[in-house]
Amino acid sequence: MLIGYARTSTLEQDAGLEAQVRDLTALGCGKLYQEQVSSVAPRKALEAAIDFARQGDTLVVTKLDRLARSVVHLGKIIETLEAKGVALRILNLGVDTATPTGKLMLNVLGGVAQFEREMMLERQREGIAKAKAEGAYKGRKPTARAKAEEVKALAAEGLSMAAIAARLGIGKGSVHRALNPKAA
């Protein structure tokens, strides 16, 4: 059986999720799991798809980045699938781990993807360091400090720290620091 898995990171990516579902359905996936969560969040639909899979089944995703967040994570998923006798197919790469060539290609492509991500992060760090040296990088604006007076006013009204944080869209720790500046 073909088991499809579709994921987008945010709720705003409805079109991307619909496209994945369309492609997986057109391929003939007998069971389809989908979710809209970050790759680092717990992914209950992915866990359910892997739990559901039986020997001889194939888990199908449209793109590698919809499945795994790193080479290590991909390795764990593949290890789990192999232990169950389940293959993995990635449509946009034309990779199917039911074949030895597919297994090799997946490992090579996963390594390249991890390398590219690490290079991108290195370039980002270098760009930030250069901007800081030129005085052009200030970092994120301290939004919670800008709301310190609002925090104090709401606290004077008797609202709890959690209620203040929710109303102002800041963390409870920020509320605490605004109310107790010497403790910070």
What would the pLDDT profile of 80-109 be if each residue is shown by its tens digit?
A: 999 999 999 999 989 999 999 998 888 888
38 within some domain: yes
What is Dmax (Cα atoms) for the chain? 68
110 and 160 assigned to the same domain: no
Q: Hey, what amino acid is at 159?
A: L
Max mean pLDDT among 55-59, 106-110, 171-175 falls in 55-59
CA distance 117 to 98: 27
Q: 52 and 103 share a domain?
A: yes
110 plus 169 within the same structural domain: no
* Three-class DSSP category at 53: coil
Tell me if 134 is assigned to some domain. Answer: no
Q: How far apart are the first and last CA of the chain?
A: 57
Question: Which residue, 114, 132, 163, sits at the end of a domain?
Answer: 114
The answer on 49 and 105 residing in a single domain is yes
Rounded Cα distance between 102 and 52, Å, is 23
pLDDT for position 65: 84
Q: Are residues 84 and 159 in the same domain?
A: no
Query: Does 88 share its domain with 172?
Result: no
Pairing of strands 58-61, 95-96: unpaired
Q: Which of 54-58, 92-96, 117-121, 152-156 has the highest mean pLDDT?
A: 54-58
Domain boundary among 67, 97, 114: 114
Q: Are residues 110 and 148 in the same domain?
A: no
Mean pLDDT (the chain) is: 88
pLDDT of 107 reads 80
Q: Is 169 left (phi over 0), alpha (psi -120 to 50) or beta?
A: left
Residues annotated as catalytic (active site), given as ranges: 9
Looking at the predicted structure, is the pLDDT value of residue 149 above 80? Answer: yes
| Residues spanned by the domain of 165 | 143-179
Residue after which a domain boundary falls, among 95, 114, 133:
114
Domain count, the chain: 2
Residue 106, in any domain of the structure: yes
Cβ–Cβ under 8 Å, residues 57 and 86: yes
**Dist CA 163 CA 128 (whole Å):** 36
Kindly state whether residues 37 and 89 are assigned to the same domain. Answer: yes
The structure's pTM equals 0.62
CA distance 20 to 59: 14
Query: In the prediction, which pLDDT does 61 show?
Result: 96
pLDDT of residue 184: 53
pLDDT tens figures, 111-145:
787 788 789 889 999 998 998 898 888 777 777 77
| Whether residue 26 sits in one domain with residue 80 | yes
Beta carbons of 178 and 168 less than 8 angstroms apart: no
Is residue 49 very low, low, confident or very high in pLDDT (cuts 50, 70, 90)?
very high
Calculate the dihedral angle through the C-alpha atoms of 110, 113, 114, 116, rounding to the nearest 10 degrees: 160
Residue 129 lies in a domain: no
Average pLDDT over residues 159-166: 88
Instruction: Give the pLDDT of residue 141.
Output: 72
Q: Residue 105 falls within a domain, yes or no?
A: yes
